[in-house]
Amino acid sequence: MPELPEVETIRRQLDEKISGLTITDVNFDVEKMFKGNKKDLIGSKIKSVNRRAKLLEVNLDNKNTILLHLKMTGQLLYNDKSSTDSYSGDPLPPLKTPIPNKSTHVTFSFDNGAVLYFNDLRKFGYVKILPTGDVEHSRIMSEFGPEPLDPKFGEEDFYARLQKRKGVKIKQLLLDQKFLAGVGNIYANESLYRAGINPSKKAGDLGREESNKLFHYIKKVLEIGIKAGGASDQTYVNAFGKKGKFMDFAKIYGKKGEICEFCGSKFERIALGGRGTFFCPTCQK
C-alpha cells in the first residue's frame, strides 16, 4: 500500500480540500470495509485530516473520528463537483479524477457538492468510526512506534530501540509498525541499500555507525518520497488521481538483476517474511 509518503501526500491534499466541509451522505457496498454507523457522520463538519503511521484520521466536530487505512490498493479520490465553469456556471466534468468504478466501495458526499471516493481493488482497506476521545487509546493507535520524521525522534532513540529487538532481521523490523511507524516495503528496501546494510542482518548486530546511517537514510528516503508525491509502483494515485514520482528515484526496489551503480554487481531478490526483498550482494554485507 501506500506507505508513509503516499499517505502523507493524500493527507495534505484532503486536509486542504475537505476541512470545513459538512458530510451530507455516506454509502458503501462492502460490509467489512465500513466499521461503524454512518449516522454518526452525516451532518458533521470536518475539522482536520491527520496521519499516524499509515492511517488517516479525519476529525469531525461531533466528537467522532474517521480512521481510514488504504492497505495495499486503497485510493482516496476527491472529486470537486462544486467547481463551476466560470463562463457558463455549469459544473465542470471530473477531468482529473477517475470516475467511480467497480473498485469504489465507500463514497462520502459533502455540502459543497464534492465527493470523496474510497476505491480498493483488493478490499483490504477499511473505514472505521471511533469517538475522538477513544482514538489515541485504541489498540491500533496506541501501539505504533515513533514517527520517523518527528524531530523529537533521534538517532539515539533509534539505536536504543534496535537493542530491544536484537534477534530480528533488520528488514522485517523496519516493517514492524510497533518498532517504527510508516515505513513499508519500498522505503525499507531503499533505506537499507543506501545505508549499505544487508536486510537479513540481525538488528542487534548493527553497530552504532550503521544504526546512525540507517536512521539517516530512512528519513532521507521518506522525505524524497513526500517531495516526489509518493511511489506509484502499481496502483497508487494521490487524492486527485495523479501518480507519484518516487519510483524515478528508487535505486533498488523491484530491480532484481539490474546493475548496482556503485559496484557493478547484480541486484538479488529474496523473500523475508514473505515480502520481496532486494539487495546488492556486494554493497550490503
Judged by CB under 7 A, the residue of 38, 96, 165, 227 near DNA is: 165
Judged by CB under 7 A, the residue of 167, 207, 257, 264 near DNA is: 167
Judged by CB under 7 A, the residue of 97, 185, 198, 284 near DNA is: 185
* Active site residue ranges: 2-3, 54, 275
CB of 196 to DNA, least distance (A): 21
Residue keyed to cell 482514538: 135
* Alpha-carbon span 97 to 241, nearest angstrom: 5
**In Å, how far are 31, 96, 103, 168, 221 from 242, measured between CA atoms?**
28, 8, 17, 37, 20
Q: How many residues touch DNA (CB under 7 A)?
A: 40
Q: Which is nearer to DNA, 92 or 168 (CB)?
A: 168
Judged by CB under 7 A, the residue of 14, 46, 162, 186 near DNA is: 186
Phi, psi (rounded to 5 degrees) for 8: -65, -40
CB of 121 to DNA, least distance (A): 5
CB of 210 to DNA, least distance (A): 19
CB of 53 to DNA, least distance (A): 6
Q: Per rule CB under 7 A, is residue 2 in the interface with DNA?
A: yes
**In Å, how far are 26, 43, 80 from 109, measured between CA atoms?**
6, 11, 10
Residue list 24-53, contact with DNA (CB under 7 A): 32, 53
CB of 271 to DNA, least distance (A): 7
What binding mask, one character per residue, do residues 145-164 give for DNA by CB under 7 A, x or -? --------------------
Residue list 189-228, contact with DNA (CB under 7 A): none
CB of 269 to DNA, least distance (A): 7
* Alpha-carbon span 130 to 40, nearest angstrom: 9
Q: Per rule CB under 7 A, is residue 238 in the interface with DNA?
A: no
Question: Which residues, listed in sequence order, are joined to residue 28 by a DSSP beta bridge?
Answer: 106
Q: Which is nearer to DNA, 1 or 23 (CB)?
A: 1
What binding mask, one character per residue, do residues 94-133 give for DNA by CB under 7 A, x or -? --------x------------------xxxx---------
Q: Which is nearer to DNA, 54 or 213 (CB)?
A: 54
Q: Which amino acid is at 209?
A: E
Q: Per rule CB under 7 A, is residue 3 in the interface with DNA?
A: yes
Q: Per rule CB under 7 A, is residue 137 in the interface with DNA?
A: no
* Alpha-carbon span 248 to 236, nearest angstrom: 14
The contact set with DNA (CB under 7 A) reads 1-3, 6, 32, 53-54, 69, 71-73, 102, 121-124, 140, 165, 167-169, 172, 175, 177, 184-186, 230-236, 244, 271, 273-276
